[in-house]
């Protein structure tokens, strides 16, 4: 693989003579397979050679002995080459640009290596090693829900470190109240309610395993959040058209995003459902789109709209990377990994902002609300609407039907007498 990037045989010989030659070449292959530009190879290979020389100077002789030297090398690199950094943020950026390639390479050659980035272990793994298995095996939580637990508990871990509480046995109602109060400065009621739910599950497990002397879950009281207290986040169809018009469909990213937005607003799909679509879910002969493994545990088959189908075909022919996997939507920049639910929602948020559309918490659910609201305004039965968007119960659909949004808009724009 090195021959694809380096013209001089002497350069290739020098790399292959290094004691890290095999991990480096394996890493170059990994970069190539994921669509990284050649400039990444040219900048990262010398960095890895420097790291290998640094580790050797510390007495390292085996690949398995490399991880303890990552932080020291990064620190030295920042001191030697980060002199022009005027802010802590700039220094952290330099450190990340050094640390990330090294950790990526180590993950390839050391299966048990976690690193400090996305591969970090689950919070409190050292003190509560069985909690992740409890969530996954006993409670049967989905990977997306596990990410919510990881995110929430990571904040708790950081808070306990900040107040110098070294053990979970030091937890108390006062500490927990302080943590929830601190998080409420950055989160809304709904997010704090979810955080409190995570804490209650975590605290009950700690008590069950005799890791804390008392059950503190009863001391967690989240904010009251009334189910029908908010207005649905739908937007008028004129704004949907404005959002779609803001997509530059001449580029690969525009072709991909246009197809994603049409799927969201036409079928009311969740971001997770769009990200999970594969080529096998498209039945071109019968003009059907299948959405498997929905939130309620079932699958749905839709007629494939000609407009949606044309947008997907345009992306598959002229925008999708040439990948062997069956996923439909991929990142347009390296690494060429399949899009995630957050990525899908982020693209919806981007185009809502680009079109100048103001809505609370813009994202993929804005378009899901819009799809449901149009069906409600067309007087479809709630059962039919619920089946269409994959709701498990009528109560879920009723949330969208709690107000007549178009009537409210007429009241706001006129005197409202006819509506009343």
> What domains can be seen in the chain, in order of their start residue?
2-109 (no CATH), 131-219 (1.10.150.130), 237-413 (1.10.443.10)
| Per-residue pLDDT at 318 | 94
Mean pLDDT computed over 343-360 = 93
Q: What is the pLDDT of residues 252-269, one digit of tens each?
A: 999 999 999 999 999 999
**pLDDT at residue 269, rounded to an integer:** 92
Q: Which two tokens stand for residue 407?
A: 């009537």
Could you tell me the pLDDT band of residue 304, with boundaries at 50, 70 and 90?
very high
Nearest to 124 by CA among 209, 231, 39, 234: 209
Alpha-carbon 36 to chain mean position: 20
Active site residues: 270, 295, 365, 368, 391, 400
Bigger pLDDT: 166 vs 243: 243
In tens, the pLDDT along 170-223 reads: 999 999 999 999 988 877 777 888 899 999 999 999 999 999 999 999 888 877
- Contact between residue 351 and residue 248 where contact means Cβ atoms under 8 Å apart: no
Place of tokens 């050797």: 56
Spell out the residues 6+ positions from residue 216 whose beta carbon is closer than 8 angstroms to its own. 171, 172, 173, 176, 203, 206, 207
59 three-class SS: coil
| 224 or 377, higher pLDDT | 377
**Residue 191's closest CA among 223, 226, 217, 231?**
223
Predicted structure pTM score: 0.68
DSSP code of 185? Answer: T
DSSP per residue over 66-110, as a string? -GGGHHHHHHHHHHHH-TT--SHHHHHHHHHHHHHHHHHHHHHH-
Hunting for tokens 């990213």 — which residue is that?
A: 253
pLDDT at 419: 44
Mean pLDDT of 22-37: 91
What is the per-residue pLDDT for 265? 95
Give percent helix, percent strand, percent coil of the chain, each to the nearest 5: 60, 5, 40
Residue 167 reports pLDDT greater than 70 = yes
What are the C-alpha distances in Å from 315 to residues 256, 259, 325, 363?
A: 5, 7, 16, 21
Is a pLDDT exceeding 50 seen at residue 420?
no
- pLDDT of 229 > 80? The answer is no
d(CA 303, CA 289): 6
Computed over every residue of the chain, the mean pLDDT equals: 86
pLDDT value for 385:
81
Can you tell me which residue has the tokens 């749905």? 300
Segment 301-320 mean pLDDT: 94
pLDDT(75) > 60 = yes
DSSP tag of 331: -
Element (H, E) at 290: strand 288-291
pLDDT at site 285:
92
At 361, the pLDDT band (50, 70, 90 cuts) reads confident
Q: How far apart are CA 72 and CA 51, in angstroms?
A: 10
Decide: residue 3, CB within 10 A, 0-12 exposed, 13-18 middle, 19+ buried. Answer: exposed
* DSSP tag of 112: T
């Amino acid at each position: 693989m090195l021959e694809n990037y380096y013209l001089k045989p002497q350069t290739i010989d020098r790399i292959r003579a290094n004691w890290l030659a095999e991990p480096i070449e394996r890493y170059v292959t990994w970069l190539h397979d994921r669509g990284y530009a050649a400039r990444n190879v040219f900048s990262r290979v010398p960095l890895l050679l420097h790291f290998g020389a640094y580790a050797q100077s510390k007495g390292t002789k085996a690949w398995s002995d490399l991880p303890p030297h990552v932080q020291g090398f990064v620190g030295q690199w920042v001191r030697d080459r980060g002199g022009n950094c005027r802010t802590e943020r700039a220094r952290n950026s330099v450190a990340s640009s050094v640390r990330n390639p090294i950790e990526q390479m180590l993950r390839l050659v050391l299966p048990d290596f976690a690193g400090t980035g996305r591969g970090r272990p689950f919070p409190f793994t050292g003190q509560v090693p069985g909690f992740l298995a409890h969530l996954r095996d006993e409670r049967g939580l989905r990977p997306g829900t596990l990410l919510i637990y990881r995110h929430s508990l990571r904040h708790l871990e950081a808070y306990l470190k900040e107040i110098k509480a070294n053990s979970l046995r030091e937890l108390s109602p006062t500490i927990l109240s302080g943590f929830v109060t601190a998080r409420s400065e950055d989160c809304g009621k709904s997010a704090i309610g979810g955080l409190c739910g995570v804490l209650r599950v975590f605290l009950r497990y700690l008590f069950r395993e005799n890791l804390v002397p008392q059950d503190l879950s009863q001391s967690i009281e989240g904010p009251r959040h009334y189910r029908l207290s908010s207005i649905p986040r739908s937007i008028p169809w004129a704004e949907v058209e404005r959002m779609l018009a803001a997509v530059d469909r001449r580029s690969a990213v525009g072709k991909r995003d246009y197809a994603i937005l049409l799927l969201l607003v036409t079928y009311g799909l969740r971001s997770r459902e769009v990200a999970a679509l594969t080529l096998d879910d498209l039945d071109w002969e019968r003009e059907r789109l299948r959405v498997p493994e929905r939130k309620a545990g079932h699958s749905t088959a839709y007629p494939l709209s000609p407009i949606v189908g044309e947008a997907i075909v345009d992306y598959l022919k002229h925008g999708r990377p040439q990948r062997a996997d069956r996923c439909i939507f991929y990142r347009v920049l390296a690494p060429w990994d399949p899009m995630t639910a957050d990525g899908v929602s982020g693209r919806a948020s981007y185009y809502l902002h680009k079109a100048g559309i103001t809505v609370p918490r813009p994202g993929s659910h804005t378009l899901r609300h819009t799809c449901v609201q149009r069906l409600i305004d067309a007087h479809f039965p709630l059962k039919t609407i619920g089946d269409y968007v994959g709701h498990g119960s009528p109560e879920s659909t009723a949330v969208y039907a709690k107000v007549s949004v178009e009537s409210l808009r007429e009241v706001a724009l006129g005197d409202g007498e006819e509506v009343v």
